[in-house]
Structure 1
Amino acid sequence: MDQIYDHAQDCYPEECCGLMLGKILEPDAQLEKKLFELYPLDNAWEQAESSIRIEESGTPLTATRRYWIAPQDLFNAQKYARTQGWDIIGVYHSHPDHEAVPSECDRKWAWPQYSYVIVAVKNGVPHDFRNWILDDQQQFRAEPVTVVDDVVPSTLETDI
């Protein structure tokens, strides 16, 4: 959480974005994800297709209200994750001066099974962290997050 907060604060007033790498497990038919590493990215909104950079009202959108993950960045993240035996399990981004609630744009671009962490940043200070998942009706619902302490491998020094 601290890494995502730091990334969001560093990018303010623009949205930050990145990927979450880990494993998607299905113990007893209940979806479970384990996060092993964050993959911070640059917001490539200005490189996105011009057709998506304009609201339906004709108002141009900027990186302060949207994020875009460049296809090459996504490819590089997938390639890296595979070398570790991992998957992309989700996406995180910030909402500068807005709530940590998915927008309609977030919903339209979301993929099932991925977790979507959104961090609200008010006046440059991250203050709310929420995790979402797209359900079968294509609506976001809150997805619980459990934070555990780092696991230290058992060695002679740690066992004494």
Structure 2
Amino acid sequence: MVKISLETNNQLVDISEKGFPYEVCGFLLGEIRYGEKESDGMDNEFDIKEILVCENINKETPEIRFEMKEGEYEHAEVVAKDKGLRIIGIYHSHPDHKSYASPTDNLYAQPDTIYLIYSIMNAKFNELKGYILNTKDWELQEIKIETT
């Protein structure tokens, strides 16, 4: 399960709407509580505490794909560590598309990492879905999101 505050969710909706018609992206910082059983990752709890906005540097197809600057992940790790947190996920938007996990999303997915996808239709928020890599079949699967 993913826990996100209403304030943080609203902030991500605003960022996604303002970035339209291009994909926006960034890191989710927080804490992970691991499930009790030998897990495929699906019973872990991800508590989002902060976000770190990144620039989409994709100049060729920013409407359908995001890219982060080289070194952005390392920078996010330092920021998270300084705050006593860790990188727990990545968010991005899908302008004029549903919040589905694309083949590209699945290709780059990592274990113990959540992926929040904000669907923005005609510059307005449409839906949010979260995904996690199921380490039994190595496919992104939808994960429940709880707004607190």
TM-score range, shorter chain: 0.7 to 0.9
Task: Say whether 1:108 aligns with 2:121.
Answer: no
The one-letter code of the counterpart of 2:87 is I
Q: Output the TM-score relative to the length of structure 1.
A: 0.79
In structure 1, the partner of 2:31 is 23
In structure 2, the partner of 1:147 is 147
- Listed one character per residue, the Cα deviations across residues 36-84 of structure 1 (whole Å, up to 9, x for unaligned) are 10111111223xxxxxxxxxxxxxx501110012232221111010011
The one-letter code of the counterpart of 1:118 is I
Q: Output the TM-score relative to the length of structure 2.
A: 0.85
Greater C-alpha Rg? 1
Shift of 1:27: 4.6
In structure 2, the partner of 1:35 is 48
Aligned length: 134
Equivalents in 2 of 1:81, 1:122: separation in Å? 31
Task: Say whether 1:133 aligns with 2:141.
Answer: no
In structure 1, the partner of 2:22 is 14
- Between stretches 122-131 and 25-34, larger displacement belongs to 25-34
In structure 2, the partner of 1:118 is 117
Equivalent residue of 1:28, what SS?
A: coil
Equivalent residue of 2:49, what SS?
A: strand
Q: Which has the higher relative contact order, 1 or 2, with Cα contacts under 8 A spaced 6 or more apart?
A: 2
Contact 2:23 2:66 in 1 (8 A): yes
In structure 1, the partner of 2:3 is none
- Between stretches 30-39 and 87-96, larger displacement belongs to 30-39
In structure 2, the partner of 1:74 is 73
Contact 2:109 2:140 in 1 (8 A): no
The structure where helix makes up a greater share of residues is 1
- Listed one character per residue, the Cα deviations across residues 65-105 of structure 1 (whole Å, up to 9, x for unaligned) are 10012232221111010011111000000001111001101
- The answer for unaligned runs of 5 or more in structure 2 is 1-8, 38-42
Shift of 1:34: 1.2
In structure 2, the partner of 1:96 is 95
Equivalent residue of 1:77, what SS?
A: helix
Shift of 1:31: 1.4
Displacement over 3 Å in runs of 4+? none
Equivalents in 2 of 1:124, 1:38: separation in Å? 21
